[in-house]
Amino acid sequence: MLDLLRFAAPVAFASLGETIGQRAGVLNIGLEGMMLSGAYAGMLARQTGNPWVGILAGVAAAILVGLLQLIFVLKLEADQVVAGTAINLLALGVTSASYRKIFGESGELLSIPSISNSVLIGFMVLSVPMLTWLLFKTRWGLALRAAGEYPDAVQASGFSVVKLRLQACLIGAAYAGLAGAHLSIVNAASFQEELTKGRGFIAIAMVTFGRFNPAWAFVASVVIGGAEMLQYRLQAQSIQAPPQLFLALPYVFALLVLVFVGKGGRAPGALGIPYRKEQ
């Protein structure tokens, strides 16, 4: 069970945070870039010998990248998909270029001592009731969800939509950083260019699958983690099938989920729409 949760952790952390952001009305296409930045910074800081420094550095890096994206998404009211895509390109370029510069030509695997970290897993599991409570039982959570449904009404009742979205997205970015750092420090115990390999997008798909509810998004992520674990197990048993079939499994699963969940009836009404204050 702990093994399964460890496999699931990167997608699970990311989708937990992304649920909060999407509930506030922001679709974070840059999630992949934030995870990648978290993974890279985490790997760099892990070299100090203390894994916790690595985890913290990963979170800090993702928050910084998140802030950069949020300047565009919230302050400049830019298109969320365009800004997120730019962040992804930027994160891929900066991490790969600096990785190659520091660690040499190949930019291939670099091993760091692996650790097993049940504290992080514990925090992940605890996050589920914690975020559920924040989102559904507090006044702040109510305002936040309203910011994703009827931003004008929230603004009219004295809240700041921008501030609510900022808070939600920063929580999302911090979780994305945890996801990335967990991936490089615990799961892979290494780094390579584009280590995240689309896990950020899988996490976004899991948020839809989980009906924008932290608990269900978590369950969905564990299923994806299961698919990934299965892929390793099956490969290890050298079954007569192309390995690519298994490698494609999580993506196919995420896509099928989206196809069958369809329009995901419960999507926040103002998801993905930049909020413009009425002048």
Partner 1 sequence: MTRFVPAIILILLLSLWAFGVNPITGCEIIARGAFGGEVGLSRTLVAMTPLLLTGLGMVIAWRAGMYNIGGEGQYIIGGLMGASVAKLHFGGPGVILLSTGLGGAFYGALAGWLQVKRGVHAAISTILLNFIALQILAWAVTGPLQAPGTTASQTATLEPDQMLARWSNRTDLHSGVLLAILLSFAVWVLLSYTSFGFHLRLTGENPRAARAAMLNADRIRVQAIALSGGLCGLAGGVQFLGTSGVIDVGFNQQWGFLGIPVALLGGLNALGALASSFLFGALMAGTQSLSRSVLGGDLLIFVIQGAAVLAFLAMRRREQANA
Residue numbers 19-48 binding partner 1 by CB under 8 A: 27, 29
Task: Tally the C-alpha atoms within 13 A of residue 115's C-alpha that lie toward its C-beta.
Answer: 19
Positions in 149-188 near partner 1 (CB under 8 A): none
- The single-letter code of the amino acid at 110 is L
For residues 63 to 102, the per-residue mask of contacts with partner 1, x marking binding by CB under 8 A and - elsewhere, is -----x---x---xxxx-xxx-xxxxxxxxxx-xxxxxx-
- Residue 211 makes contact with partner 1 by CB under 8 A: no
Task: Give the residue among 65, 52, 44, 38 at the shortest CA–CA distance from 181.
Answer: 38
Rounded CA separation 164/222 (Å): 29
- CA neighbor of 57 nearest in space, from 185, 181, 192, 189: 181
Read off the DSSP letter of residue 188. Answer: S
Nearest to 1 by CA among 88, 125, 123, 111: 125
Q: DSSP code of 253?
A: H
User: For residues 51 and 180, which CB has a smaller minimum distance to partner 1 in the complex?
Assistant: 180
If the CB atoms of residues 157 and 278 are measured against partner 1, the closer one turns out to be: 278
Interface residue with partner 1 among 202, 220, 222, 270 (CB under 8 A) is 202
Q: Please state the closest distance from residue 120 (CB atom) to partner 1, in A.
A: 26
For partner 1, the binding residues (CB under 8 A) are 27, 29, 68, 72, 76-79, 81-83, 85-94, 96-101, 104-105, 107, 197-198, 201-202, 204-205, 242, 244-245, 247-248, 251-252, 254-255, 258-259, 262-264, 272
